[in-house]
Structure 1
């Protein structure tokens, strides 16, 4: 099992956003983190990557918590945020070199992977460019490239399809499939529900800071009493429930 979130209570202030969140991701699984805006998806992600400290509960990656060994814990994670985070004073080449150093990667192997991804994303002629020269989509590709040259056990990807052209979306999905075959696990938060339904093995449906259900599309359909419904239909049903309680 790659990721285990157990009885997680947490948030940004004294009032918890997350209320005893529990879910698991097994080795080689792509799990979609699905929920309405404000449901707690970003808060969950920020706890997993170590930006927030839980009020209570625990998060473990391959049996290691951040309190056990912060460096070992974080080295197991590759994070691709919704808004690309790049260092304006570093070139693309220097971003790759920084990633290699941070993850203690074999330089030759890492650059072999990087060169392949640079060509895939048509960035191979831009190694000396700075982030200010890149479009949002290009900055997103840099984040994807740096993540996928690591040997991470867990990939945490937040809204990865925003800003990417259809070719890059297809390239990213292929990278995810290859990484799954290597045994890595992926937690992906997205509102692109038709793509999520096609590619995710399971879903964690979070609502009002709690896990409403976890499972494949068939389990979600059963939970909502909506046989043969799409993930989009289930999402709309969840939104309707929310409106009726306001």
Structure 2
């Protein structure tokens, strides 16, 4: 069996050691898997992602990407994933093509594969007419496309994608989903956080339902539905999700969620 690309063991963490946001989080993602991370606002999804990115240090537990922790091998850890944030972050005075070039250099992509990937992405995301445009002149949706194109260009073992559909037009959404299916087929792992449950159900292999800084359920559609006490079937993820997150907020982390401390 393939070793996990992302492995999180008993992660507890947050912004303050006195008031952790995450409580005993454990899950793993293997090559060729797309896993949906879902939860209400304040459930702890973004905080989990920040810990994986190395932007926050765990209070307890361990995170491994491609078999290493951030502390043991920073270069291997950081080069093993690409991240698409909810809000695009670009350099205003660089063009679309210059952003792609910068990413190619950062990941050490050789010239020939770089050119082929760049040309394909410009066409797939309908950005060829904008390749010489400065980021400051792009709409939010186009900026999001540039972020997605940069992530896809690097072809890492792991993609971490946070609310990728915000601002995208229907063609952009379809292009992204088609490419995610493609990279998954090639063996990359994908962790995708999204509120669009119908899309998550249609494209993901497994699901992680977060609530109150904990994992309320995880697994296949059948396993998540079983945890919610209901039968699985097409469209069942949404009903199972509502059942799992409608429970009262109690225990450690409740105050954080009520005050908006978790994200």
Identify whether the pair has TM-score above 0.5, normalized to the shorter chain.
yes
Tell me how far apart the structure 2 counterparts of residues 113 and 94 of structure 1 sit (CA, whole Å): 14
Q: How do residues 47-196 of structure 1 correspond to structure 2 at under 5 angstroms?
A: 47-196=51-200
Q: Deviations over 1:52-87 (max 9, x none)?
A: 111121111121110111121111111000101111
RMSD over equivalenced CA pairs, Å:
1.6
TM-score (structure 1 length as normaliser): 0.96
Tell me how far apart the structure 2 counterparts of residues 76 and 228 of structure 1 sit (CA, whole Å): 34
Secondary structure at the counterpart of residue 241 of structure 1: coil
The answer to whether residue 37 in structure 2 is matched with residue 33 in structure 1 is yes
Runs of 4+, deviation exceeding 3 Å: 242-246
Tell me how far apart the structure 1 counterparts of residues 62 and 21 of structure 2 sit (CA, whole Å): 15
TM-score (structure 2 length as normaliser): 0.90
The answer to whether residue 186 in structure 2 is matched with residue 198 in structure 1 is no
2:243 aligned to which of 205, 219, 237: 237
Count of residues in Structure 1 that have an aligned counterpart in Structure 2: 246
Secondary structure at the counterpart of residue 9 of structure 2: strand
Tell me how far apart the structure 1 counterparts of residues 133 and 169 of structure 2 sit (CA, whole Å): 20
Q: Which residue of 1 aligns with 2:214?
A: 210
Contact 1:76-1:151 within 8 A present in 2 as well: no
Q: Deviations over 1:220-244 (max 9, x none)?
A: 1111111136111122223422479
Q: Which residue of 2 aligns with 1:227?
A: 231
Q: Which residue of 2 aligns with 1:8?
A: 11
Contact 1:11-1:54 within 8 A present in 2 as well: yes
Secondary structure at the counterpart of residue 108 of structure 1: helix
Gaps of 5+ in 2: 259-263
Gaps of 5+ in 1: none
